[in-house]
Amino acid sequence: MMPAQRSELAEASLSTGPVGLEYPPDVRLVQRRPVSRLTIDDGTALDWLMSGTAASAGPAELLDGVIARLVAAGQPIERATLLMSTLHPQLLGITANWRGDLGVCDEVEVNAHVRETTDYLTSPLRPIIEEGRSIRVNPQDPVAQSTYPIMQTLAAAGYTDYWGFALKRDDRQFTLMTLATRQAGGFSRATIEAVEALRPALALNVEIVSRGKIAEHVLDAYLGRRIGKRVLAGDIRRGFGETIEAVIWVSDMRNFTSLSDRIDSAEMIRLLNAFFEGLVDAVHEQGGEVLKFVGDGMLAAFPIFGTQSAPAAAAAALAAARNGLVAVDSLNEAQSDEPSRDLSWRPLSMGIALHRGPVFFGNIGSRDRLDFTAIGRTVNLAARIEPLSKTTGRRLLLSDKVAELIGEPVEELGDFPIRGIPDPVSLFTVPEHGL
C-alpha cells in the first residue's frame, strides 16, 4: 500500500473503489447507512439542528442530516468526517464518514493505538486534535501533499479544497469536522459562511451525541456490551432481570495468592491485565459476554436465545476456551513486552470450566449500589467444577450438559463429588487446541 493511501487511516477510511469503503484492522465498522437525498423543502440544516431531532441521532445520522441539508441548499460538499473522542480504554474515538460520491455514511470505531502510527503523526487531524487549529489546504498543492500525505490521495480523486476544524477541544475530549470538495476554486466564501453559521448549533448537538456515546462506552467497558446497553436503556431497578439459558464460563489463575505475595503490586496488575486481555478477547471474538472479574477469576456467559442455539453456544464457548488457553501459553512464551520484570510467575497456569443451564441476569445489591450479573445454580456449579482442573490435571473441563452438545469426540474423566450437590457430576474434556 502506498504511503498516501495508507495515510487515510488517520481519517479512519480507506477508499478502495467506486462501490464502497473498506476499513483496515485498526477500524471497526459499526453501521453503514445510505446518504440522504434531500431537497430544499426538507428544511435547513440550522432548523433541523434546533429541532431536537439531531440530538437524539447517532454520529452517522447527525453528520448525514447536516451535510445532506447543506448539499440540498447548494453547498458543494462531497466528503465529510465527524470525529468525536470517547472514554473507552481501547478507542481513539468514533468517526462518521460521509461520502456523497459513494452514497454511504458510515459510523466506525478507531483503535487508540492509531495515535502512535506515522499515519496519525502526518495527518491533518493531528493539529486539530492536539492544538485545536483549523486546517484549510488545497490538496492539489505540492506543499500540502508533502505535509499531509493524505492530500495526494485526495488530489488524485480531484479534490480542490480540504477544511478541518475543531468543534470542541479540552484536556479530556475533542470533536472535529472535516469537509472536502471537488469544486473548481474550492469552497466559496458563501459556503464557508454557511458552515460557520451552523457551528454553535452543530457543536451543541455533537456534544449531546458525544456524551451519549461516552456513557455507552463507559458502561460497555465496565459491564460489557450486552449488560451496558440494558442499563443504559433503563433496566436499573433492583431485582429486575430475566432467567435465560446460557453456557457459563468460570476460569481461575493458579497460585494467584502466592504470586501476589511475591510480586510487586504494580507488576501484578500488569500481569493480570495481560492475562485477562487474552481471555476477554477470546470470549468476545466468539460472541460471549464477560460478566465479572473477581481477583484472578473471570465469569463469562454465552447466552442461548434467538438464533443462538444451545449447540452453537457450546461450540462458541469451547472455541473461546481453547483460544484463551492458547493466549496464556503465548504469554508464557513471549520474549518481549513482558508484563512483569519479575519472571518468577512463569509458567502461568489456569483452569476453565464450562457448564450449561438457566441463569438469572439481573440487578442485585442495595438501594444505591447495584451490580448487574448472573447468578443461580448453573453459575455455582461451574464455579465448583473449575477447581477440579487441578485434581484431574486438565485445564479445560466440560460438564455433561455441555459435553452432550459438542459435535466432536469427548473424553470422559469420570464422576466427581461436588460440594453442595447430592449426586456426583460427570466431567469431560477435549483436546485443548482441537487436535
Evaluate whether 125 touches 11 at the Cβ level (below 8 Å).
yes
Q: What are phi and psi of 204, to 5 degrees?
A: -65, -45
Question: Residue 355 and residue 317: Cα distance in Å, rounded?
Answer: 10
Residue 16 pLDDT grade (very low, low, confident, very high; cuts 50, 70, 90): very low
- Give, in degrees to the nearest 5, the angle at Cα 22 between 20 and 24: 170
SS3 41: helix
Model pLDDT, residue 117: 79
Query: pLDDT value at position 15?
Result: 31
Backbone angles phi, psi at 370, to 5 degrees: -115, 155
Task: Specify the higher pLDDT residue, 113 or 289.
Answer: 289
Separation between Cα atoms, residue 299 and residue 374, nearest integer Å: 9
Cβ atoms 396, 322 nearer than 8 A: yes
The H-or-E segment that residue 301 falls in is: strand 297-304
Q: In which residue are the cell numbers 459513494 written?
A: 102
Q: Is the pLDDT of residue 434 over 80?
A: no
C-alpha cell at 200: 454553535
Cα(156)–Cα(8) distance, rounded to whole angstroms?
13
Q: Report the pLDDT value the prediction gives residue 282, as an integer from 0 to 100.
A: 93
What is d(CA 206, CA 84) in angstroms, rounded to the nearest whole number?
Answer: 8
pLDDT range class, residue 86, cuts 50, 70, 90: confident
Model pLDDT, residue 228: 65
Mean pLDDT, residues 394-403 taken together: 94
Which three three-digit cell numbers place residue 165?
476544524
- Reported as a single tens digit per residue, the pLDDT across 24-56 is 777 888 899 999 999 999 999 999 999 988 888
Peptide bond connecting 347 to the previous residue in cis, omega within 30 degrees of 0: yes
Rounded to whole angstroms, how far apart are CA atoms 187 and 177? Answer: 15
The band of 247, judged by pLDDT with boundaries at 50, 70 and 90, is very high
pLDDT band at 176 (very low <50, low <70, confident <90, very high): very high
User: Comparing C-alpha atoms, which of 338, 191, 218 is closest to residue 267?
Assistant: 338
Cα–Cα nearest to 320, from 339, 306, 301, 337: 301
pLDDT at 35: 94
pLDDT given for residue 154 in this prediction: 95
Tell whether the model's pLDDT for residue 8 goes beyond 70. Answer: no
pLDDT tops 70 at residue 6: no
Instruction: Give 177-193 as a 3 state SS string.
Output: EEEEECCCCCCCHHHHH
pLDDT interval class at 14 (50, 70, 90): very low
